[in-house]
Amino acid sequence: MFREQYPYFLANRPVQANADLPVRHKATGETVTRVALADRNALERAIAAAADAAPAMRRLPAWRRQEILLSFVAALTERHEELARALCVEAGKPIRDARTEVTRAIDTFRIAAEEAVRMYGEILPLDISERNTGYEGHVRRFPVGPCAFITPFNFPLNLAAHKMAPALAVGCPFILKPASSTPVSSLLMGEILAAQDLPEGAFSILPCRGPDAEPLVRDERIKLLSFTGSPEVGWRLKQQCGRKKIALELGGNAACVVDEGSDLDYVVPRLVTGAFYQSGQSCISVQRIFAHASLYEELRDRLAAAATALEWGDPLDEETFLGPLITEEDAERVERWIAEAVQAGARIVCGGRRHGPFVEATLLEDVPPMAHVNWREVFGPVAVLKKVRDFDHALHCVNNSEYGLQAGFFTRDFGRVRRAFAECEVGGVVVGDIPSMRVDSMPYGGVKKSGFGREGIRYAMEEMTEPRLLLINDNYFNREDGS
């Protein structure tokens, strides 16, 4: 499945470095391959090459950018299963979820190919008073220039795609630093990109240790830093990035409200998916469930039965629903947080045990507010159930969080839908489904500690461009002597 070694890409070309990084099979711990590891010198060269490539990238016509993106879509489609298997092993992601991620990445590039030819501007009539007669404005967006992208381990393919695709759509050169635990999928995309006819220096993909990525954060030649990862790292980088633009896609402890009268036949399987897919390692994983008192006990018992039936084990096995956590240390942390909650009075409804890097699908109730599983991001297969009196109480509980990425509501009451939309402190309100729902074209991002800016192709393209005004004075062109 893997080659022995993968090169990194520096200024569009594959390079074998002196140092390398082992990539582990996340379920067994064995080293499955090694990837070239970039040092500071490689990063400096990539930044210089991206700065040199910026004018040529800016000048690529829209049809050409679309052509490159479509060719990328074709190559990803051809290599679908190879990419899915690589993702499965390097991220410990169950194979069915890995295939979905590849399909989503294809969608992401396809949407970018469509948007690349739709970068419309604006015409502004500026004759707003007598003294401005004859003035008109044209506004067009231009690429910001070299971008730096830093991505996490949990969706290593599609989250890199969410940065690469809009950059190619608008004509920005970029440098991508993938997570050290899951670099292979980005490098496979590098192979595909290297086969395109792009200006030299248009892209570099450089696995390196987090702190060694500092030049990408501080160098003024980089005009935009787009980071997806933990709030701890993301907000720190915002302090360090100087005058460049920054987009932060960070974590959360997403809530889902189950209102009175909800159809539990529909709700239960959706909640189980939201809380436990990818072993909870998703930024919009359902972590807090607020259920109306009238159905709380029935919901709890049905969720427990469904969660207990989930298969855990080898991510390559077609039946596996729960794979390993990204490291055994992370699984130990989740185990500690469960134990801490129980010590403080919580009750385990189901699950609760760890098996090496695997954690059982776990539901807790009666959890005290200050337990980590309540107020921090667990990033593991754990959800907390709480009984709420009414919809006001539920809304209060949703907003009682440092985070605000997405919230889900199962309710058919239109007035409550409107209130949730108006009052929830989140980037997205999902009605009739779990907060874990993301369509790759929609605006996506958080408020509070969860982020800054939005992704979703068209929205990321906006972040990667700047508006420029052409102010035209017709009086000059209309002078009678024609001068």
Q: Kindly list the catalytic residues.
A: 249, 283
Pairing of strands 406-410, 428-431: parallel
Q: Does 456 interact with ligand NAP (rule: CB under 6 A)?
A: no
Q: Does 283 interact with ligand NAP (rule: CB under 6 A)?
A: yes
Q: Does 249 interact with ligand NAP (rule: CB under 6 A)?
A: yes
Residue 379 beta carbon to ligand NAP: minimum distance, rounded to whole angstroms:
6
List the interface residues with ligand NAP, window 206-225 (CB under 6 A): 209-211, 213, 217
End-to-end CA distance of the chain: 71
DSSP-assigned beta bridge partners for residue 35: 6, 21
With CB under 6 A as the contact rule, the residue among 92, 408, 451, 453 that binds ligand NAP is 451
Alpha-carbon distances of 267 from 22, 272, 288, 362, 366, rounded to whole Å? 41, 9, 14, 18, 21
Residue 483 beta carbon to ligand NAP: minimum distance, rounded to whole angstroms:
56
Nearer to ligand NAP, 352 or 446 (CB): 446
Residues sharing a CB contact under 8 Å with residue 436, sequence separation 6 or more, in sequence order? 254, 273, 274, 277, 282, 284, 285, 286, 406, 408
Of 232, 147, 150, 177, nearest in space to 40 by CA: 177
Residue 331 beta carbon to ligand NAP: minimum distance, rounded to whole angstroms:
14
Nearer to ligand NAP, 159 or 304 (CB): 159
Task: Compute and round to an integer the Cα radius of gyration of the chain.
Answer: 24
Ramachandran region, residue 104 (left: φ > 0; alpha: ψ -120 to 50; beta: rest):
alpha
Candidate ranges 244-252, 348-356, 358-366, 412-420; the one touching ligand NAP (CB under 6 A): 244-252
Of 425, 450, 426, 455, nearest in space to 439 by CA: 455
Q: Write down the residue that tokens 């990084």 correspond to.
A: 21
Q: Does 377 interact with ligand NAP (rule: CB under 6 A)?
A: yes
Nearer to ligand NAP, 233 or 472 (CB): 233
Pairing of strands 174-177, 147-150: parallel
List the interface residues with ligand NAP, window 125-154 (CB under 6 A): 150-154
With CB under 6 A as the contact rule, the residue among 48, 233, 264, 437 that binds ligand NAP is 233
Q: Encoding tokens for residue 357? A: 């890097």
Q: Does 92 interact with ligand NAP (rule: CB under 6 A)?
A: no
Nearer to ligand NAP, 3 or 236 (CB): 236
Q: Does 203 interact with ligand NAP (rule: CB under 6 A)?
A: no
Binding site for ligand NAP (CB under 6 A): 150-155, 159, 177, 179-181, 209-211, 213, 217, 228-230, 233, 237, 249-251, 283, 377, 379, 405, 451
